[in-house]
Structure 1
Amino acid sequence: MRKSILIAFVLFIGITAQAQIKVSPGIRGGVNFSTLTNIDDNSTKTDFYLGGLVNIKFNKYFSLQPELSYSRQGDKVEYFDNGSYRDINYELNYITVGAVAKFNFNGSGFHVLAGPSLDFKIDDNYINSNPEGFDLALVGGVGYTLPNGLTFEARIKQGFIDIYGYDGVYDDNNNGNYDEVILNQVLQIGISYTFKGR
């Protein structure tokens, strides 16, 4: 067992020593299609995200990409008011701090990505409630990077913090309201551009 660990450690050191790490700053932006789970009569709200990134490329197969973004999320709810239906957009706007690991297939431009995101709420337009001030999310997606540094990506972002605090709340019959947990869900379609790194 110790021999296996030692061999794995030596291989890791050898790979790291030969890696030519390349750091490239960049910008990213695109369209958010966001909604909230377990809300009746709601639908997807369309908005945007915008931010910066630093792509740390370890080799042609793997890179790590820290990101800082402004993301406009929430959902759209249809109300019947004075004999007609009208839509109301509920805003949940976040500063998101995250990092995705990107795995390139055969060293090509096509990649899959995954990583965590910590979201800090900076604004909302809720009147009768006060949504949580932060969210923890997991991001996954696919993309393609052109040789000039332009990248096209599609991501799914799933929140894990109940934004209304229902998680673990019990009713009069001592039943947990876990079916009422309200979570952020976002589909992001966008582009990014990385400048030539060192």
Structure 2
Amino acid sequence: MYKKKLAIAAFLFFAVVNIQAQVTFKPGLRAGLSLSTISEMHADYRPDFYVGGFGEINLSKRYALQPEINYIRQGSNNVARNYLELDTPQTERVIYQDLQVSYLSIAVINKFTFGQGFQVQFGPALDVLLNDNLAFRKTYNDLAFVMGLGYRMPSGLAFEFRFKKGLLDVLDSDYYYNNSNSHYLFGDYNTNVNFQIGVSYSFDVK
């Protein structure tokens, strides 16, 4: 029994040492184009930018866990809103607004590498509201799921394409609506939709 326990302990010890020998950490930066809208609004996509930093924890040759902090500008353009004039009751006006929402996005991304640098990325994100120009909102923060593809070169430079889908209803659609044009009929569940096209660079830490 004693020899068996000793053998198990030795096996676990060498397994941990082997894992630690394979684990590497690489900090990095990422930035690019952010294309976003808010769902069920039939609005135009808003072009803007994102920028952030990350720490890539390589647990094996093919898998890395990557915590991130990103600043992302999102929203929707050309959103129609109807309202009644206060001084002339029953007179309805329509204005078109560009909605802007900025988040500090904290994400934990799983990265799987295949072949010569092709990557599959996915993971959850918590978006903390920094500022916006929404008249009424249902929530200040958002939860999202991120998925994407990337290609990393030996130099550490990578090209990324991601899709980030918000899970929470972020906008009060009773305030933004248009009864006179069906193209702008709103749904009640308005979530953030975001595409990211950009680059990242990871630094070698000796």
TM-score (norm 2): 0.75
Counterpart of 1:120 in structure 2 is: 128
Match of 2:35 among 30, 33, 36: 33
Counterpart contact for 2:148–2:161, Cα < 8 Å? yes
Deviation readout 1:122-178 (Å, 9 max, x if unpaired): 100123x13521000000000000111101000000000110367xxxxxxxxxxxx
Q: CA deviation at 1:13?
A: 8.1
Counterpart of 2:61 in structure 1 is: 60
- Equivalent residue runs for 1:97-116 within 5 Å: 97-106=106-115, 108-116=116-124
Q: CA deviation at 1:86?
A: 8.1
Counterpart of 2:52 in structure 1 is: 51
Counterpart of 1:162 in structure 2 is: 169
Match of 2:157 among 129, 142, 150: 150
Q: CA deviation at 1:18?
A: 2.0
Counterpart of 2:202 in structure 1 is: 194
* Letter matched to residue 141 of structure 1: G
Counterpart of 2:6 in structure 1 is: none
Counterpart of 1:24 in structure 2 is: 26
Match of 1:134 among 134, 141, 155: 141
Counterpart contact for 1:98–1:115, Cα < 8 Å? yes
Q: Secondary structure at the match of 1:148?
A: coil
Counterpart of 2:4 in structure 1 is: none
* Letter matched to residue 150 of structure 1: L
* Letter matched to residue 43 of structure 1: D
Q: 2-side partners of 1:79 and 1:119: how far apart?
A: 26
Counterpart of 2:88 in structure 1 is: none
Percent identity between the two aligned chains: 34
Deviation readout 1:74-95 (Å, 9 max, x if unpaired): 11125599xxx98632011000
Structure 2 gaps of 5+ residues are 1-10, 83-93, 174-186
Larger Rg belongs to: 2
Structure 1 gaps of 5+ residues are 1-10, 167-178
What root-mean-square deviation, in Å, do the aligned CA atoms of Structure 1 and Structure 2 show?
2.6
